[in-house]
Amino acid sequence: MSRPCCSALPTRPIKDLHALTGVYAALADATRLRILALLRDGEICVCHIHASLDVPQPAASRHLAYLRKAGLVDARREGIWMHYRLTPIANPVVATVVASALHALSHTAASVSDDRRLQVARKAS
């Protein structure tokens, strides 16, 4: 029996169920989803992330640490600032889940507003 709702999903088995549940947990928070949406177009400094989301810098850093632990973002230091970007995802099932979440989020008012604030923050720095 064909299941059209799942036909786009890869058919390879997931070898690490713990990693997949970690990804779902990371995606289960609105702030973390908004951070991932900001990072979809490239690397961003933590200072711009917290300004774009209007959250305190320590809160943004805590969410970014959670996303790093889940394997969804990478970081690099430049002076006193940390810069973050999406991690290339090797597991096709996880990549599909993340892409689907980002696609759904891109159609929300919050995402549009976050993108505008990011543009303003980048121009101000």
Q: How far apart are CA 75 and CA 123, in angstroms?
A: 22
| Percentage of the chain modeled with pLDDT above 90 | 70
Helix axes 92-105, 17-27, angle to 10 degrees: 10
Higher-pLDDT residue of 9 and 79 is: 79
Q: Whole-prediction pTM value? A: 0.83
Q: CA-CA distance, 6 to 59, in Å (whole number)?
A: 35
Q: pLDDT value at position 27?
A: 96
State the average pLDDT over residues 2-17.
58
Tell the CATH topology of 18-124.
Arc Repressor Mutant, subunit A (1.10.10)
Task: Report in angstroms the alpha-carbon separations of 75 from 24, 109, 110.
Answer: 21, 27, 24
| Residue 66: other Cβ atoms inside 10 A | 18
pLDDT digits (tens, 9 = 90+) for 64-109: 999 999 999 999 999 999 999 999 988 888 899 999 999 999 889 9
